[in-house]
Amino acid sequence: MNLQNTAILGLQWGDEGKGKIVNYMAGDFGAACRYQGGHNAGHTLIVKDRKIILHLLPSSICHQNSLSLIGKGVVISYEALFSEIEEIGEHTSGIVERLKISPACSLIQPYHQLIDLKKEKSNSQKTIGTTLRGIGPAYEDKVGRRAIRVVDTLSEGQLKPVLEETLDYYNFIIEKYFNEKPLSLIELMDQNLSFGEKIKPMLADVSLLIKKLNAEGKKVLFEGAQGALLDIDQGTYPFVTSSNCSPTGIAAGAGCGPLDVENILGVVKAYVTRVGEGPMPTEIFDDIGEHIALTGGEVGATTGRPRRCGWFDAVLMKRIIETNSIQGLCLTKIDVLDGLDEIKVCKEYDDSSGLFLGECMNLENVSPVYETLPGWDRPTKSINSFSELPSEAKTFISYIEEVCGAPIKIVSTGPDDLSTIVR
Ligand code: GDP
Ligand code: IMO
Ligand code: MG
């Protein structure tokens, strides 16, 4: 196979099955690299019949012959990172040797999590339904040029002045605005320095490592977190996450050039789901929505919240595919639609109000116009050859390709690797 540096990223509101696809492909690649987001992600893999949920570690982590990279665009919570390393270490050996982390990553500190929680629980501010992991406040600090980065935690002399200044700012907010006890500088110094000591053996210049792997003929997978409709610039703002989850985030977050990303594959579910607040034009409120949620196990892998379910939205997908250089699709979870009499796909919006302004993604006032396709009565679950799919499932796949304007290169019919069709 002629491998290329390949991005695997979600095109909907997250949870499309990125983890399964990255783990499935990673064995052929020199590394997989997470480049944005943080432990708000929940990527599920099945390895040797065991279900593993990853939040920060790349989904290549169980492959002994691939590296797992965390690029500088990721925001890291040290607590989350080390507890995940410990937990996943029970399933796979040699993590510390295979995991390479950029010292330029910004850190999520306890005050970020506190602010995320306070904002979400406040009655006066708009609720986003965040994962409460401190992601937004940590990215605010990065852009505000006051983030504590991994490199700062490697020496007391470097950490003290930056942490002191930042904590001054936050303690003012914590005391005066939230009426809470200030955080202790000494405790935060100790925590950060001890984690800084622990992370040292895993640090690497991820930008140069990608170049080096490529020079050795090894290709890299770029693993997106969240999905394009949650992208800070392209998504359904303000109901989005705080990073660029679409391809625009790859070069900045991994630390490579845009042309180093040679192949961009978007992962889409055969329907859509969303966790948290925000518009979702094709949301299903009846028994069929419940059936899909139950059959698809649509419960958040990070927060355990139920995921809202809806029909496949080809209007949004066509736009995202066209504007993001998406070269092909991985269609997941078609097996969840097994047994339905009819399957709907939103092919256009009725926007009689004229209020749907494309780039603003203000979807509140649109209503979906559906194409109704026949369901299939023979299950697709675990099928791994395209020719064995029921003819109605093939029709559904061709229709998605046609309305979205992109070829479907992988079809997934179950959570495990065997349930995968590569075309
Ligand atoms: P991610 O965040 O994009 O990695 O996706 P999640 O792991 O949050 O959610 C996807 C869920 O669907 C996980 O429970 C997967 O094990 C599961 N899954 C992935 N692909 C398939 C598929 O083709 N069929 C079924 N039934 N489940 C799948
Ligand atoms: P993966 O990588 C689904 C959603 C949250 C909330 C919004 C902002 O598993 O697909 P944040 O905590 O990021 O500030 O929350 O984004 N969200 C996700 N939804 N899958 C995810 O990740 C998500 N990460 C964040 O529910 O609506
Ligand atoms: Mg997920």
3-class secondary structure for 157-200? HHHHHHHHHHHHHHHHHHHHHCCCCCCCHHHHHHHHHHHHHHHH
Residue 395 sits in the same domain as residue 275: yes
Residue 49 sits in the same domain as residue 176: no
Residue 141 falls in the annotated catalytic set: no
* 3-state secondary structure at position 21: helix
Residue 231 has pLDDT above 70, yes or no: yes
Residues 6+ apart with CB under 8 A from 72: 102, 104, 105, 206, 253, 255
Helix, strand, coil proportions of the chain in percent (round to 5)?
Answer: 35, 20, 40
Residue 135 sits in the same domain as residue 221: no
Closest CA to 376 of 365, 368, 385, 388: 388
Using alpha carbons only, give the angle 212, 217, 223 rounded to the nearest 5 degrees. 70
CA-CA-CA-CA torsion sign (164, 170, 174, 177): positive
Indicate whether residue 276 lines ligand 2 (CB < 6 A).
yes
* 3-state secondary structure at position 221: strand
Task: Examine residue 92 and state whether it is found in any structural domain, yes or no.
Answer: yes
Residue 63 falls in the annotated catalytic set: no
Residue 214 — pLDDT band, cuts 50, 70, 90? very high
Instruction: Provide mean pLDDT across the span 235-261.
Output: 97
Residue 278 sits in the same domain as residue 393: yes
Instruction: State the residue range of the domain holding 416.
Output: 267-422
Residue 83 — pLDDT band, cuts 50, 70, 90? very high
Instruction: Provide mean pLDDT across the span 41-45.
Output: 98
Residue 1 — pLDDT band, cuts 50, 70, 90? low
Taking the centre of ligand 2 as the mean of its atom positions, its distance from the CA of residue 377, in whole angstroms, is 34
Q: In whole angstroms, give the CA distance from residue 63 to residue 46.
A: 12
What pLDDT sits at residue 371?
98
Q: Whose CA is nearest to atom 12 of ligand 1?
A: 17
Taking the centre of ligand 2 as the mean of its atom positions, its distance from the CA of residue 139, in whole angstroms, is 14
Residue 413 — pLDDT band, cuts 50, 70, 90? very high
Residue 292 sits in the same domain as residue 409: yes
Instruction: Provide mean pLDDT across the span 366-372.
Output: 96
Q: Indicate which CATH number applies to the domain containing 156.
A: 1.10.300.10
What pLDDT sits at residue 405?
97
* 3-state secondary structure at position 123: coil
Residue 80 sits in the same domain as residue 217: yes
Token pair belonging to 126: 């708009």
Q: In whole angstroms, give the CA distance from residue 8 to residue 387.
A: 25
Residue 277 sits in the same domain as residue 258: no
What pLDDT sits at residue 298?
95
Q: Whose CA is nearest to atom 18 of ligand 1?
A: 415
* 3-state secondary structure at position 411: strand
Task: Examine residue 259 and state whether it is found in any structural domain, yes or no.
Answer: yes
Taking the centre of ligand 3 as the mean of its atom positions, its distance from the CA of residue 163, in whole angstroms, is 32
Indicate whether residue 40 lines ligand 2 (CB < 6 A).
yes
Q: Indicate which CATH number applies to the domain containing 255.
A: 3.40.440.10
Over the chain, what is the mean pLDDT?
96
Q: Indicate which CATH number applies to the domain containing 412.
A: 3.90.170.10
Indicate whether residue 339 lines ligand 2 (CB < 6 A).
no
Provide the 8-state DSSP code for 307: P
Residue 396 sits in the same domain as residue 317: yes
Q: How many distinct structural domains can be found in the chain?
A: 3
> Please, are residues 386 and 380 in contact by the beta-carbon 8 Å criterion?
no
What pLDDT sits at residue 211?
98
What pLDDT sits at residue 126?
79
Pocket test for ligand 1, best of 44, 330, 336, 337 (most atoms within 8 A of CB): 44
Question: What residues pack around ion ligand 3 (CB closer than 5 A)?
Answer: 15, 42, 301
Task: Examine residue 250 and state whether it is found in any structural domain, yes or no.
Answer: yes
Indicate whether residue 136 lines ligand 2 (CB < 6 A).
yes
Per-residue pLDDT of 87-142, as tens digits, reads 999 989 999 999 999 999 999 999 999 999 999 998 776 799 999 999 999 999 99
Task: Examine residue 1 and state whether it is found in any structural domain, yes or no.
Answer: no
Whether the bond into 161 is cis, omega within 30 of 0: no
Ligand nearest to the backbone CA of 19: 1
Q: Is the whole model's pTM more than 0.85, yes or no? A: yes
Task: Examine residue 379 and state whether it is found in any structural domain, yes or no.
Answer: yes
Indicate whether residue 39 lines ligand 2 (CB < 6 A).
no
Taking the centre of ligand 1 as the mean of its atom positions, its distance from the CA of residue 412, in whole angstroms, is 9
Task: Examine residue 411 and state whether it is found in any structural domain, yes or no.
Answer: yes
Residue among 43, 55, 63, 112 flagged as catalytic: 43
Q: Whose CA is nearest to atom 20 of ligand 1?
A: 415
Indicate whether residue 273 lines ligand 2 (CB < 6 A).
no
Residue 258 sits in the same domain as residue 271: no
Closest CA to 103 of 70, 63, 65, 55: 70
Using alpha carbons only, give the angle 321, 258, 78 rounded to the nearest 5 degrees. 95
What pLDDT sits at residue 2?
76
Task: Examine residue 168 and state whether it is found in any structural domain, yes or no.
Answer: yes
Token pair belonging to 261: 């990303």
Ligand nearest to the backbone CA of 47: 1
Residue 383 has pLDDT above 90, yes or no: yes
What pLDDT sits at residue 76?
98
Closest CA to 154 of 74, 78, 95, 208: 78
Task: Examine residue 144 and state whether it is found in any structural domain, yes or no.
Answer: yes
Distance from CA of residue 86 to its chain's centroid?
22
Whole-Å CA distances, 126 to 119, 229, 251, 276 = 8, 19, 32, 12
Residue 84 sits in the same domain as residue 215: yes
> Please, are residues 38 and 133 in contact by the beta-carbon 8 Å criterion?
yes
Residue 380 sits in the same domain as residue 312: yes
Q: Whose CA is nearest to atom 26 of ligand 1?
A: 414
Residue 296 sits in the same domain as residue 382: yes
Q: In whole angstroms, give the CA distance from residue 361 to residue 230.
A: 11
Per-residue pLDDT of 288-317, as tens digits, reads 999 999 999 999 888 888 999 999 999 999
Q: Which residues of 17-53 are buried (b: 16+ CB within 10 A; e: fewer)?
A: bbbbbbbbbbeebbbbbbbbbbbbbbbbbbbeeeebe
Pocket test for ligand 2, best of 39, 44, 84, 226 (most atoms within 8 A of CB): 226
What pLDDT sits at residue 362?
87
What percent of the chain shows pLDDT beyond 70?
99
